Amino acid sequence: MTHLPTELRNLDTNSPEFRSDRALALKYGSQGPRYTSYPTAPHFSRDFDRDQFYNWLKTNQEQNTAPISLYVHLPFCRNICFYCGCNAIVTREKTAARNYLNRLKVEIEMQSQLVGSNRPVTQMHWGGGTPNYLDHAEITELMHLLGSHFRLLDKRYREYSIEVDPRGLDNNTIALLRGLGFNRINLGIQDFDPLVQKAINRTQPYHEIQPLVASIRSHEFRSLGFDLIYGLPFQDRHSVDDTLRKVITLRPDRIACYNYAHLPERFRNQRAIDAQNLPPPEERLLLQYIISQRLQEAGYLHIGMDHYVLPGDELAIAQQEGRLQRNFQGYSLHLADDLLGLGVSAISQLGDFYVQNERNLDTYYTLIDQGRLPASRGCKVTDEDKLRRFIIMSLICELKLDIAECARRFDIDFGTKFDGQIHALRAMEADGLLQLSADEIQITERGRPFLRNVCMLFDAYLDSDPGPTHSSIYSATI
């Protein structure tokens, strides 16, 4: 028996309404950035001036006591997920974690001397890969290592989060993570349908997830998040609705629903997915409809691209108060201006600089063993970048742009500078995607799926060759 809402169960894909939305999807569908930064990572250069960056750090960071965020990248996984586009390394080599921690220790020591060890760490996130690839002793060692080189906090307002693979999670690990100070935890769910799970090589039945959620609740984590993906092989309106029904029953505080980007030419593991089993564009559009309607009917707020939260969640409150930000970990509270990335491929945002560590693990090890910082790519943000970043991030986080505030802050005549963009915005307004006035751009509910398309109008780099795309940076806009 299907649990689709009546209006979706009976949705006629030949109706004028659906044909209209399908026409919009065809019109605006393209590959576009997720805008976790601006400029986006494909525009970072290996030729950026490292000396300028390090000299700035030495000059400006010695006495800096401003809050800072930490991101720690732990790249290893025990099993390959066929859909994955992350910088992950599948291995069961017993020494892999030990070798990595030895190098990470050296980088942490070097980085803390540069950015300042007395700065309060208001936010921290461990991602991957699979952070719970590490065993209990290694997790404890890494947290103590960070605590000995940075000023970790024991304050309620801090955000210390970790991504975990449910297949390697148990009650003891949950208790350990909470005891070490993590107060937010995110589970990679993707989908609950057995056929879909088999097709993506990620079997984790609902009956195994349910007790883990109960354990997380009993340990009083401040927030539980689920990651879901739509557009996976064998997904259809019925299987996705069944997954959503189970998700809603478990009631996570935050839900991220990502659009699968099939890039087998770039990610070899995706070649195990038969493209013929992927839902066609019309069905994918319907899946997006179902996700949005089902979650909002269940009381979740759609706060931005792909993200839904319960009304009392701090992200919802932050959006209302203009304190929501988007960075390399997605949406979060704005608790620090600077972000330091640690580990292979990690990205830092410090001052006017974006800097990415070496993506290749062996090269990362070589640089660390030579006593060198592993930065390999980066850029310095220009005044023009700051203007466009303000516009894009305002649209993504607040779903609107205060044109008068933008003009005042950057001392520009908005209408003159963005005359071409305003012409394109008028066309989007005619399609019902936004409302445009002399004072404001406001994204409509119908325009939510096309939010990135609006942002792309203000991206000056899209006229140039971005180089190889990466699924965590670029994906189908719908």
Question: 335 and 211: one domain?
Answer: yes
The closest alpha carbon to 250, from 208, 202, 302, belongs to 208
Residue 6 lies in a domain: no
pLDDT of residue 25: 77
pLDDT in tens, 159-180: 999 999 999 899 999 999 999 9
Asked whether the predicted pLDDT for residue 37 surpasses 70, the reply is yes
Residue 4 domain-assigned? no
Segment 233-256 shows an average pLDDT of 96
**Domain of 296?**
41-342
- From 342, 360, 392, the end of a domain falls on 342
Query: Is there a domain that residue 164 lies in?
Result: yes
Domain count across the chain: 2
Q: Residue 119: is its pLDDT beyond 50? A: yes
Residue 285 domain flag? yes
Average model confidence (pLDDT) for the chain? Answer: 90
Asked if 71 and 196 sit in the same domain, the reply is yes
306 and 443 share one domain: no
pLDDT score at 478: 54
Closest CA to 386 of 365, 411, 361, 368: 411
User: 263 and 140, same structural domain?
Assistant: yes
Residues 261 and 145 in one domain: yes
Q: How many CB atoms lie within 10 A of CB 474?
A: 22
Tens of pLDDT, residue by residue over 344-360, are 999 999 999 999 999 99
pLDDT at res. 12: 56
46 and 121 fall within a common domain? yes
267-302 residue pLDDT tens: 899 999 999 999 987 788 889 889 999 999 999 999
Cis peptide preceding 5, ω within 30 of 0: no
* Domain of residue 449, CATH code: 1.10.10.920
326 with 398, same domain?
no
Residues 144 and 244 reside in one and the same domain:
yes
Where a domain ends, among 291, 310, 342?
342
Q: Is the pLDDT of residue 107 over 60?
A: yes
Within a domain: residue 372? Answer: no
pLDDT at residue number 471:
38
Please list the helix, strand and coil fractions of the chain in percent, rounded to the nearest 5, in that order.
45, 20, 35
Q: Does 399 lie in the same domain as 459?
A: yes
Q: What is the CATH number of the domain that holds 79?
A: 3.80.30.20
Q: Tell me, yes or no, whether 120 and 221 share the same domain.
A: yes
Residue 410, in any domain of the structure: yes
Residues 77 and 218 in one domain: yes
Give the Cα separation of 362 and 322 in Å (integer): 42
Dump the DSSP string for 242-259. HHHHHHHHH--SEEEEEE
* Domain-embedded: residue 347: no
449 falls within a domain: yes
Instruction: Verify that 195 and 258 share a domain, yes or no.
Output: yes
Checking if the pLDDT of 219 tops 70, the result is: yes
Task: Specify the 3-state DSSP secondary structure of 399.
Answer: coil
H-helix or E-strand spanning residue 122: strand 120-128
Banded model confidence at residue 63, pLDDT cuts 50, 70, 90: low
Check residue 335 and give its pLDDT.
Answer: 87
pTM > 0.85 = yes
Which among 327, 342, 357 is the end of a domain? 342
Summarised one tens digit per residue, pLDDT across range 177-187 is: 999 999 999 99
Residue 92's nearest CA partner among 135, 140, 126 is 135
